[in-house]
Chains A and B, each alone.
Chain A
Amino acid sequence: MSTKKRVEASEAAEKVPTNTGAPVNAELGKRHHFSSHFADSGGVDFTGDRTTAITDQTRDEMRQIAARYPQARSALLPMLHLVQSVEGRVTPAGIEACAEILGITEAEVSGVATFYTMYKRKPVGDYHVGVCTTALCAVMGGDQIFSDLQEHLGVGNDETTEDGKITLEHLECNAACDFAPVMMVNWEFFDNMTPDKARETVDKLRAGDEVTASRGARVCTWRQAERVLAGFDDGRADEGPTAGPESLLGLDIAAEKGWQAPAAPADGTEAASTQEDK
Chain B
Amino acid sequence: MSEQTATAEQPEVDLLTPVLSRNWGDERAWKLTNYEHVGGYRALRKALQQTPDALVETVKASGLRGRGGAGFPTGMKWSFVPKDNPNPKYLVINADESEPGTCKDIPLMMASPHTLIEGAIISSYAIGAEFAFIYVRGEVLHVARRLQQAVREAYSAGYLGKNILGTGVNVDLVIHSGAGAYICGEETALLDSLEGRRGQPRLRPPFPAVAGLYASPTVINNVESIASVPCIIDNGADWFSSMGTEKSKGMTIYSLSGHVQRPGQFEAPMGITLRQLLELSGGIRAGHELKFWTPGGSSTPILTPEHIDLPLDYEGMAGAKSMLGTKALQCFDDTTSVVRTTLRWVEFYKHESCGKCTPCREGSWWLVQILMRLEAGHGEEGDIEKLLDLCDNIGGRSFCALADGAVACVTSAVQHFRDEFEQGFHTPAWELFPYQKSALFSLPTKEKAKEGAHR
Q: Which positions in A face B, CB cutoff 8 Å?
A: 19, 25, 28-38, 68-71, 73-78, 80-81, 102, 111-112, 115-119, 130, 133-136, 138-141, 143-144, 146-148, 150, 156-157, 170-181, 184, 186-189, 192, 194-195, 213, 215-217, 225, 228-231, 233-234, 236-238, 240, 242-254, 257, 259-262, 264-265, 268, 270-275, 278
Contacts and interface: CB of A to CB of B under 8 A. Distances in A.
B176 A77 contact: yes
Given A144-B449, A261-B22, A271-B232, 6 more contacts: A34-B347, A36-B368, A81-B179, A136-B257, A177-B263, A275-B54
Contact of A75 (B196, B450, B454): B196
Contacts of B281: 249
* B interface, over-half SS: mixed
Interface of B: 14-19, 21-22, 24-31, 46, 50, 54, 57-58, 61, 88, 97-103, 105-107, 110-111, 131, 137-142, 144-146, 148-149, 152, 174-182, 193-199, 214, 232-239, 242-243, 251, 254-259, 262-268, 280-281, 298, 328, 330, 332, 336, 340-345, 347-348, 350-352, 354, 365, 368-369, 372-373, 375-376, 378, 428-430, 435-436, 438-441, 443-444, 448-455
B59 to A, nearest CB: 10
Given A143-B453, A229-B141, A253 B16 contact: yes
A76 B452 contact: no
A158 B5 CA distance: 50
Nearest to A108: B197
A248 B376 contact: no
A136 B342 CA distance: 10
A47 to B, nearest CB: 24
Given A135-B345, A187-B140, A240-B142, A112 B198 contact: yes
A135 B57 contact: no
B348 A29 contact: no
A129 to B, nearest CB: 13
Contacts of B254: 250
Contacts of A29: 372, 452, 455
B265 A247 contact: yes
A143 B436 CA distance: 10
Given A249-B266, A275-B50, A173 B441 contact: no
A71 B375 CA distance: 48
A80 B72 CA distance: 34
A216 B141 contact: yes
A178 B257 contact: yes
B141 to A, nearest CB: 4
B179 A118 contact: yes
Nearest to A192: B440
A172 B348 contact: yes
Contacts of B265: 178, 246-251
A275 B235 CA distance: 13
A247 B29 CA distance: 14
B176 to A, nearest CB: 7
B345 A116 contact: no
B148 A237 contact: yes
Contacts of A73: 195-197
